[in-house]
Amino acid sequence: MNDVLLSAQRLTKRFGGLAAVNEVSVDLWRGRIHAVIGPNGAGKSTLTHLLSGDLAPTTGAVVLGEREVTGWSPERISRAGLGRSYQKTNIFLPFTVWENVRLAAQSRAPHSARWLARADHFLSTNENASRAIELAGLADRKSRIAGTISHGEQRQLEIAMSLATAPQVLLLDEPLAGMGTAEAERMVQLLLRIKPDHAIMLVEHDMDAVFALADHLTVMVNGQVIASGTPAQVRADANVQSAYLGEGVQ
Amino acid sequence: MMDFASFLIQLLNGVQYGLLLFMLAAGLTLIFGIMGVVNLAHGSFYMLGAYLAWSLSSLTGNFALAIALGAVLSVAFGLVLERLLFRHFYDRDHLDQVLLTFGLIYIFEETRSILWGDDVHGVAVPELLGASVPLTENMSYPVYRLFMSAVCVVLALGLYLLISKTRLGMKIRAGAFDREMAEALGVNIKLIHAVVFAIGVALATIAGMIASPISSVYPNMGSQVLIMCFVVVVIGGIGSVRGALISALLVGLVDTFGKVLLPHLAGMLVYMLMAAVLLWKPEGLFRQ
Amino acid sequence: MTARKSHLEVLPRSLQMLLAGGLVLLIAFPFIGTDFYAQTIARMMILAIFAMSLDLLQGVTGLVSLGHAAFFGLAGYALAFLTPDGEAVGLWWTLPVAIAASGLAALVIGFFVVRTHGIYFIMVTMAFAQMVFYLFFDNKVLGGSDGLYVNFKPAAVLFDLEDKRVFYYFTLAIMLVVYAFLRRLLWSPFGRTLAGIRVNEHRMRAMGFTTFRYKLAAFTLAGALAGLAGYLWGAQTGFVNPELMGFQMSAHAIMMVILGGMGNFAGAIIGAFAFEYLLLWFKDLPTIGAVDLGKHWQLWMGLFIVILVTFAPRGLLGVVERLSRRRGDSGDE
């Protein structure tokens, strides 16, 4: 049994009277991709925010490694070994691709407070950034301004930035959003490349990608988990078929 | 400590000051909450009101008429200002808005100087309201101050009814919540914005008008009240009219009692209050 | 955080030439201009230091402060308090003390203020600065509304600051050192972090940066540098009053940074000179007929600000950048 690197335990998030996330539990294992799927408004993004510290849960707990990180600020959770990418591209548009990733890598360096040395002279940071850019397949785009690259490349940059902090756990929120077939295929290959070294939670709508990538699948509807198991099990689950996949799906 | 009559006087003063601040803060917070515009020149409307009260009541000899005329003029002024200038800044950086409205302060101050000069003026309390209500054997409370508070309460109630009970108010709330959706549903957003802006200007101007007999009329009176107004909005939470009311009363009472009970700290108390609120809730007490 | 204007961090060649030419002029000026104008230029250089300190906060980090002048004025007051009535006080210990005073005030105020964002930040910086203003305005002990005098320029031992030319070059040297320091800082890890916070603070936090600390550090450093400028102002003019700390002064500083172009410190220098020159020009307008145009300088300045922000929000450097882009210029740092 692979180690559980992140465990969300009965997370609930209420906004006023509405429970956007209701008693949701999710485990992430090293080297495995756990996909979370569901219709719009199911609470998947909210769940991601709860795990990354952008939102504090109303009840429930988040355990990262050995530590309980419930209610921690996003920066604290990030430093504890969690990285995430965003559904809506959340990069530094005016900076170059290289600077985007270098800055991400710099967050882990003790020298962020140095104010007289040149930022791009720090070897370890540069190496980490290079590695993340290579993995994400953006090596030939390094000096382009992030705002000028294609949408698909921006999504790759999202991933590169979340990799540059060398996290153990990755939360990927719709990395394939808005991608054409070729780009999506590249992204799937990317995710397969990084899978062995991370515990990944993948929120996605692209069902082909989900079934190609996921080792474990959780289905959310209206804030609750209606099914959780291997892709085959979930596909066969009657609840899921009627609520989400639609009748007649194999 | 203080005896009951003194306490009552300070309480009434604090509430009156708070209600006056509310008139200004309500406009500021509404304009920011709904259109996203910060207006440093908001204090200038207060000053405009005071000068209007002085010149119109000198002109007409009738305070009530002056207030009525002034209110109408301020609505017109607000509509023109919104149409010509502010409308184009709703989607701009706050920095641009800060600069724009700072430039406006200069323009308003100088125009006031050209039109009405730089002297200090007084506005006579109208005879009808010139009496005092006796509280004890030797202490009484000016009726005019009660009148001021009453006007503020009436306007506050009117604002509340407008926003929560009328269709216009519903459209205002819809526009604040989701502009595109409201437009799609047929709400004339441009009109709503113009109306909200004009209401904000009118409230500030009326506040200046009714306060003029007490505060007198002098250059730069806008900037002092603007700061207090900002403090009220920060404590209350941007966009929350209810927050502005509670916060304004809090500030009014703290400032008034502070000046009496802790005179050395007087000016600083309100800022200390703001600092304390910021530590606890950096987005104000009633953030939307 | 609301300053989202686009930035020019790398200076195009045309601008570098302009700056170099300006430097030559500045060095030569005391020999080619009159004493009076040299004093005016010295004052502009002091304001340039003030503007650069604000640029660090606003242009680089994206924090729009309407209270920055409080730290400018405080250091001037520190000098006034430290200077006895009858003799000069030592430069080499009072300057660090004044800077430290401003820096400390910035640290304390920043602790409360930096936890707010966007429009709140603007409002609370204004409120706290006005608090400082009224503290001095209302208390005779601190000089009251009349202000305080600095009867003697600080004694520098190695050179004589009472000599106007010496003071001029001293100020020029400080301005250059501050510029070089801030340019270096811009490309350091700390500077890159601040720029990241300006562009996307949310992502910076998600990447693990405790942005509060960096913003507070920037706020404090900017306040300390403003204090450096304020000290020089007090020394040069020999007089400090609460207006130096008021929000009008802060707004003028914002104007200077905007006018010149934000985020690269060169714009702050250019903007300070341009704005101050414009202000003096407005105040010097003649009387036409019965109307004293110069007396109503606030009206002209107000109109200028409104027109500038409506039509040229990126200021003079924005114009330069557009021109040099058309010519296909590239520049290095």
What integer is the mean pLDDT of A2-23?
Answer: 89
Strand-pairing partners, residue B133, are: B141
Interface of B with C in 182-241 (CB under 8 A): 223, 227, 230-231, 233-234, 238
C200/A90 touch (CB, cutoff 8 Å), yes or no: yes
Tell me the per-residue pLDDT of C230-240, one tens digit each, with 9 for 90 and over. Answer: 999 999 999 99
Average pLDDT, chain C: 89
Residues of A in contact with C214 (CB under 8 A): 113
Q: In what order do the strands lie in the sheet with A4-15?
A: A18-29, A4-15, A59-64, A67-68
**CATH class label, C13-324:** mainly alpha
C254/B233 touch (CB, cutoff 8 Å), yes or no: no
Q: What percent of chain A has pLDDT over 90?
A: 62
Res. A177: pLDDT tops 90: no
Give C331's pLDDT tier (boundaries 50, 70, 90): very low
Domain A1-81+167-250 falls under CATH 3.40.50.2020: no
User: What pLDDT sits at residue C8?
Assistant: 65
Q: Is C236 left (phi over 0), alpha (psi -120 to 50) or beta?
A: alpha
A82: which DSSP letter? E
pTM recorded for the entire structure: 0.90
Residue type, A39: P
Could you tell me the residue ranges of all domains in chain A? 1-81+167-250, 90-166
Residues of C in contact with A172 (CB under 8 A): none
Residues of C in contact with A121 (CB under 8 A): none
Res. C319: pLDDT tops 90: no
Pick the more confident residue, A213 or C322. A213
Interface of C with B in 252-271 (CB under 8 A): 254-255, 258
DSSP string for residues in A163-208: HHT--SEEEEE-TTTT--HHHHHHHHHHHHHHGGGSEEEEE-S-HH
A119: which DSSP letter? G
Residue A145 contacts C where some CB pair is shorter than 8 Å: no
Res. C164: pLDDT tops 70: yes
Residue C64 contacts B where some CB pair is shorter than 8 Å: yes
Interface of C with B in 133-192 (CB under 8 A): 134-135, 138
User: What pLDDT sits at residue C148?
Assistant: 94
Q: In whole angstroms, what is the distance from residue C293 CA to residue C56 CA?
A: 36
**Distance, in angstroms, between C249 CA and closest chain A CA?**
29
What integer is the mean pLDDT of C17-35?
Answer: 89
**Distance, in angstroms, between C88 CA and closest chain B CA?**
33
User: What pLDDT sits at residue A207?
Assistant: 85
Q: Judge B/A contact: 3 or more CB pairs < 8 A.
A: no
Radius of gyration of chain C from Cα atoms?
20
B107/C247 touch (CB, cutoff 8 Å), yes or no: no
Give pairs for A12-16: CB < 8 Å, separation 24+.
Answer: A12/A57, A12/A58, A12/A59, A12/A60, A13/A43, A13/A46, A13/A50, A13/A55, A13/A57, A13/A58, A14/A58
Residues of C in contact with A90 (CB under 8 A): 200, 202-203, 206
Residue in the structure block whose two tokens are 């290289």: A98
Residue A166 contacts C where some CB pair is shorter than 8 Å: no
β-strands A18-29, A33-37 pairing: unpaired
User: What pLDDT sits at residue C4?
Assistant: 38
Residue type, B174: A
Residue C113 contacts B where some CB pair is shorter than 8 Å: yes
Name all chains with 3 or more CB-CB pairs below 8 Å to chain B.
Answer: C
- Give the three-state DSSP class for A224: strand
Contact, C69 vs C106, CB < 8 A?
no
Per-residue pLDDT of chain B (288 residues; tens, 9 = 90+): 578 888 888 999 999 999 999 999 999 998 988 888 889 999 999 999 999 999 998 888 888 889 999 999 999 999 999 999 998 998 888 888 999 999 999 999 999 998 888 888 888 888 778 888 887 777 888 888 889 999 999 999 998 888 888 888 887 777 776 777 777 777 788 888 899 999 999 999 999 999 999 888 888 888 889 989 999 999 998 888 889 999 999 999 999 998 888 877 777 888 889 988 888 888 888 875
**Distance, in angstroms, between A117 CA and closest chain C CA?**
5
Q: In whole angstroms, what is the distance from residue A228 CA to residue C110 CA?
A: 48
B110/C298 touch (CB, cutoff 8 Å), yes or no: yes
Candidates C61, C303, C309: best to mutate against B (most CBs of B within 10 A) is C309
C-alpha count within 13 angstroms, C-beta hemisphere, residue A149? 26
